[in-house]
């Protein structure tokens, strides 16, 4: 053995290489000018300590082949509780010897940043799930499996769609600015002002004239709260400021070659932006909604309603070239819906400044509870065929209160608008449709809720959605409302006219 030690590493490696190439000890010895026994000793030693010789000099863990990585990812996907040790053994059985450290590296490189295989199930499901769509194909597949079970879909969002969404939600103020420059007309704000004023008036008017269950003191506080609701329309002013937008984006340095890294970087960017507000007073004028969002909001802690530019489009917002009945029936009901959230089973607990406060008298609370029980029972009875389940009246209560109130407020505001702005003259009818303006109002509301669900998604909606299924958002609110019954002449006791059994909170 003494002799083998004298050979340089170069010569030893050459001996091994020639051996691997299939040469005998004698031939190798001849070629390199070494004794046959020396060559034999080197090769025996190599066989015995194969791994030691092969390991890279730096001592860094061995890189795993693509096949090995696929195997690891598949295993972790199918059996998330697999330990690193088990993965090491699996790979060994398949002919590759690796360390636990290299398994960790492979997992990190494939999107399971800083988690060992063993720790995967301990990570929040939501966190991992939210990142899956940004990871490699294997993890994408597991997202597909999840989506298939929860929504019934058989394909993932196309890449272009995913990428547009990513940019839209990441560069939301810059993207929002581009959107409003092209698609938002400032006169939409004027019409929204008209709608919001009308609907606020309608809520207060109904509290004064039609509410027979609330005591006077609580009523006056409710009216005060309604008057204090701050409405925000379109986009926050600061996005018109180029300097602000440019400074904001400067904090990001996105790379064309590191998609997952970009995702992680933007998550950090959002977290830092949020944390920057910690222990600071947030001005009431500030709002953090993405202008391109197609949705509307009520915030109980700030007593605000918000309508981003994305929501102010058809079929919600119809603008000045269409009958007002269409806009009042769609965006109008949505304005009413958001305003009424301030007075639903949860929002009622906050005062006009957004502080949790007991501003109701006990008698008004107990009468409110009777009113909402009627609605809980009503919606509990709806059976949604697509889901094979009944609507959950209690779970969807707040949204149902908002839908019912919103419809009444918007209709009342519409009639008031006809009364004052048109001195009582009905709007011109739409040619060829044969519906009255009041009928169009309700049709426009139903139109907004048009939808289609797979049964898995329908079940998911029932089990974890805050809203009733779209069909029952229409049927539920309309069948409670005498103006709808009148507009379409629905007989008492029919599905669309609950008559005496109608429920009403606001």
Active site residues: 338, 403
Draw the binding track, 482-501, toward Zn ion (x: CB under 5 A; -: no contact): --------------------
Determine the interface stretch with Zn ion among 37-45, 197-205, 273-281, 396-404 (rule: CB under 5 A). 396-404
Q: In terms of CB distance, is 399 or 409 closer to Zn ion?
A: 399
CA distance 280 to 258: 35
Q: How far is the CB of 64 from Zn ion (least distance, A)?
A: 50
- For the chain, percent helix, then strand, then coil, each to nearest 5? 60, 5, 35
Which phi and psi angles does 8 have, rounded to 5°? -75, 160
Q: How far is the CB of 465 from Zn ion (least distance, A)?
A: 11
Residues 6+ positions from 62 with CB-CB distance below 8 Å: 55, 56, 97, 98, 99, 102
Q: In terms of CB distance, is 487 or 503 closer to Zn ion?
A: 503
Determine the interface stretch with Zn ion among 144-152, 324-332, 393-401, 479-487 (rule: CB under 5 A). 393-401
Residue 230: beta bridge partners? 304
Nearest to 188 by CA among 348, 96, 313: 313
Q: How far is the CB of 300 from Zn ion (least distance, A)?
A: 11
Determine the interface stretch with Zn ion among 12-20, 119-127, 252-260, 391-399 (rule: CB under 5 A). 391-399
Are the C-beta atoms of 472 and 379 separated by less than 8 Å?
yes
Q: In terms of CB distance, is 402 or 487 closer to Zn ion?
A: 402
Helix (H, G, I), strand (E, B) or coil at 445: helix
Q: How far is the CB of 377 from Zn ion (least distance, A)?
A: 21
Q: In terms of CB distance, is 143 or 399 closer to Zn ion?
A: 399
305's enclosing H/E stretch is strand 304-308
Determine the interface stretch with Zn ion among 18-26, 130-138, 358-366, 401-409 (rule: CB under 5 A). 401-409
Determine the interface stretch with Zn ion among 33-41, 247-255, 398-406, 497-505 (rule: CB under 5 A). 398-406
Q: In terms of CB distance, is 152 or 465 closer to Zn ion?
A: 465
Are the C-beta atoms of 46 and 16 separated by less than 8 Å?
yes
Q: How far is the CB of 337 from Zn ion (least distance, A)?
A: 6
CA distance 167 to 155: 21
Number of residues in contact with Zn ion, rule: CB under 5 A? 2
Are the C-beta atoms of 398 and 345 separated by less than 8 Å?
yes
Q: In terms of CB distance, is 214 or 402 closer to Zn ion?
A: 402
Q: How far is the CB of 228 from Zn ion (least distance, A)?
A: 19
Sheet (strand 304-308) strand order: 230-234, 304-308, 297-299
Counting Cβ atoms within 10 Å, is residue 55 exposed (0-12), middle (13-18) or buried (19+)?
Answer: middle
Binding site for Zn ion (CB under 5 A): 399, 402
């Amino acid at each position: 053995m003494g002799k083998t030690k004298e050979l340089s590493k170069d010569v030893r490696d050459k001996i091994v290489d020639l051996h691997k190439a299939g040469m005998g000890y004698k031939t190798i010895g001849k070629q390199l000018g070494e004794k046959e026994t020396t060559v034999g000793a080197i090769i025996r030693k190599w066989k015995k300590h194969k791994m030691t010789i092969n390991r890279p000099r730096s001592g860094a863990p061995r890189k795993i082949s693509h096949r090995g990585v696929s195997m690891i990812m598949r295993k972790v996907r199918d059996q998330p509780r697999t330990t690193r040790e088990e993965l090491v053994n699996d790979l060994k059985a398949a002919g590759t010897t690796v360390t636990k450290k290299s398994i960790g590296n492979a997992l990190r490189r494939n999107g399971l940043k800083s988690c060992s295989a063993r720790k995967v199930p301990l990570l929040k499901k939501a966190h991992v799930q939210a990142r899956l769509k940004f990871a490699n194909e294997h993890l994408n597949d597991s997202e597909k499996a999840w989506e298939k079970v929860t929504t019934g879909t058989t394909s993932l969002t196309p890449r272009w769609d995913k990428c547009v969404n990513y940019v839209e939600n990441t560069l939301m103020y810059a993207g929002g600015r581009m959107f409003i420059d092209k698609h938002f007309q400032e006169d939409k704000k004027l019409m929204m002002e008209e709608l919001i004023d009308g609907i606020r008036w309608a809520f207060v008017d109904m509290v004064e004239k039609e509410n027979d269950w609330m005591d006077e003191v609580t009523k006056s506080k409710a009216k005060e709260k309604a008057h204090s609701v701050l409405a925000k329309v379109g986009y926050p002013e600061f996005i018109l400021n180029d300097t602000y937008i440019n400074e904001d984006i400067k904090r990001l340095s996105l790379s064309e070659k590191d998609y997952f890294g970009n995702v992680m970087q933007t998550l950090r960017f959002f977290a830092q932006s949020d944390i920057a507000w910690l222990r600071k007073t947030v001005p009431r004028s500030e709002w953090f909604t993405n202008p391109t969002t197609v949705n509307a909001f009520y915030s109980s802690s700030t007593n605000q309603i918000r309508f981003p530019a994305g929501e102010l489009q058809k079929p919600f917002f119809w603008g000045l070239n269409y009958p007002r009945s269409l806009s009042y029936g769609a965006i109008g009901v949505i304005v009413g819906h958001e305003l009424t959230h301030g007075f639903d089973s949860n929002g009622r607990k906050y005062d006009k400044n957004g502080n949790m406060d007991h501003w109701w008298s006990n008698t008004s609370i107990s009468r409110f509870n009777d009113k909402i029980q009627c609605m809980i029972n009503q919606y509990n009875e709806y059976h949604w065929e697509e889901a094979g389940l009944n609507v959950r009246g209690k779970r969807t209560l707040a949204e149902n209160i908002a839908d019912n109130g919103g419809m009444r407020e918007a209709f009342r505001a519409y009639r008031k608008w006809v009364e004052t702005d048109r001195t009582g003259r009905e709007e011109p009818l739409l040619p060829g449709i044969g519906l009255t303006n009041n009928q169009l109002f309700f049709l426009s509301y139903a139109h907004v809720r048009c939808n289609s669900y797979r049964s898995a998604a329908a079940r998911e909606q029932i089990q974890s959605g805050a809203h009733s299924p779209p069909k029952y958002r229409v049927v539920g609110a309309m069948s409670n409302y005498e103006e709808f019954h009148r507009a379409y002449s629905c007989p008492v006791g029919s599905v669309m006219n609950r008559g005496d059994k109608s429920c009403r909170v606001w």
